Amino acid sequence: MTTLKDLAAHLGLSPATVSRALNGFPEVGHKTRKRVLEAAERFSYKPNTSAKKLATGKSDMVGIIFRSARNLLVDPHFVDFLAGLSTGLAHSEVDLVIRTAPQGEQLAHYQRFVASGSVDGMIVSAPQIDDPRIEMLLETDFPFVVHGRTGDDVPYAFYDIDNDAALEGATSLLADLGHKRIALMNGPADMAFAQQREQAFRRVIKQRGINVPGRFVSQDDMSEDLGYQRAASLLGGELGTPPSAFICASTLQALGVIRAATEAGLTVGDDISIIAHDDVLPHLRPENFSPSLTVTRAPIRDAGTALADMMIALIGGSDPKGLQQIAPVDLIVRGSTGAAPNRGETAW
């Protein structure tokens, strides 16, 4: 394995000059830097991480901490997001350090990362409206980017999708089709994105003069089983007149609703309409559902790639407020939505 001293001897330069050239120090001339970089590539030289950190103050690592409440390795949202994130960071030769923490202990893990200096920045996922992780990172002036956002005017870098427009489009579509009994299967109540989506949903139904009972709105982890349980309870009729349409926060929930509807003898697209948010997961394509699923669409892999680029720019000194992106969401209408069935739409 080629060492720094080997590279310096080959080039006839001092190890210090080679190190400065590799790390981009401005006092090294362009021709010398070019010679060093070409030789490093030719001899497959990889710098010692510890030595590089001493020289530059950078570890070339960023951290992310996920809740350990579920098995992330079988969560398709996590896997696709991580693929975009890790690939994006790898292009800049930055490593991703992944940790998990139990519910209620994430803040302590973030504090340990910051205090140790082992990473150059943090990626915050699944933000809450009043998120202590974000408050701590702002107070310590530690570089971080957020997957999502906690408000409309925030001082940090983030990538989010337009949750408001997504729910406005989905709810308006169902209202235009004549539905007055619309259920919202949302994400967890403490998540910022879930609150943004519910606010948009309630705004549209109020504008359309639609009354939605409390039992039609739920906040859960976005799993097929919970989607099935909620839908089966509502469609059974024991609690009152069932919904004629569902808006689901994920395609996993929609799978559960379809299963419950089938068991209740209902035909999706005729007796009941379903819209879901599609993160464009490679193994769960809504166009292959039967019938094909109407969706609000925004690839979650794009979020990982964008956050990687933002993290690299932030570490490089960019202004966080210049690194804020709200991605548009497509509404794709397919066979799972149809006109409201003409049977007691206003009866509760």
Report pLDDT digits (tens) over 201-241.
999 999 999 999 999 999 998 999 999 999 999 998 777 89
Number of domains in the chain: 3
In-domain check, residue 345: no
pLDDT at residue 55, as a whole number:
52
d(CA 194, CA 197): 5
Residues 181 and 281 placed together within one structural domain of the fold: yes
Phi, psi of 288 (to 5 degrees): -95, 0
Q: Which range marks the domain in which residue 102 is found?
A: 61-161+300-329
SS3 136: helix
All residue ranges of the chain with pLDDT < 70 are 1, 23-26, 46-57, 68-75, 343-348
Residues 41 and 67 placed together within one structural domain of the fold: no
pLDDT at residue 346, as a whole number:
45
Residues 49 and 84 placed together within one structural domain of the fold: no
In-domain check, residue 187: yes
pLDDT at residue 49, as a whole number:
54
Residues 252 and 279 placed together within one structural domain of the fold: yes
pLDDT at residue 344, as a whole number:
47
